[in-house]
Structure 1
Amino acid sequence: MNHSETVKRYPNPSKDGIFTISLLEDIQEVNIIVADLTGRIILNRTDRKFKSNVVIDLSNQSSGIYIINISANGEHIASKRAIRI
């Protein structure tokens, strides 16, 4: 299965820095790591979700491009760009 198709991100770009990640399959544990383009990790968290949405709040970050790395049940499933304008 192509895991990147199981993860949707919206809105993108975001004016307020709030992004929603929609998980389209049942996932027991999701790990979210957000980094800026220099590689500095600005968010690292683990949530327990079951076919749900995860809200990522980058409202306290400056405008720019961020990379959201998503792992589910211990396996990397997607890397998504998030644009904060």
Structure 2
Amino acid sequence: MAGNNYYHQCSKGIGRCVRITTHDGKVHTGIIDRVTSNKVYLRPIGGSRRNYGGFGLGYYRGGRGWGGGWGWAGAAWGFSLGLIAALVFIPFF
């Protein structure tokens, strides 16, 4: 039942910033990218230690050199609706 409630809340909040706390106590902050029948997908925002994008040395259109890229910043991380213990919409972001 709770998963169904979170589904409707997340569906209405696509594009909004949220903070999700899971039953294991982990806190995830991001922007709701999309929602399926059993998962919510968040695009991470600042404050994370993971390497989400930026600049780096790599291959760009067949050549090697510096280039800007979103890297993982464009990727959304999926969380099961059944694992959500708390969902809070953050008004400022």
TM-score (norm 1): 0.36
Which of the two has greater helix per residue?
2
Larger radius of gyration between Structure 1 and Structure 2: 2
TM-score (norm 2): 0.34
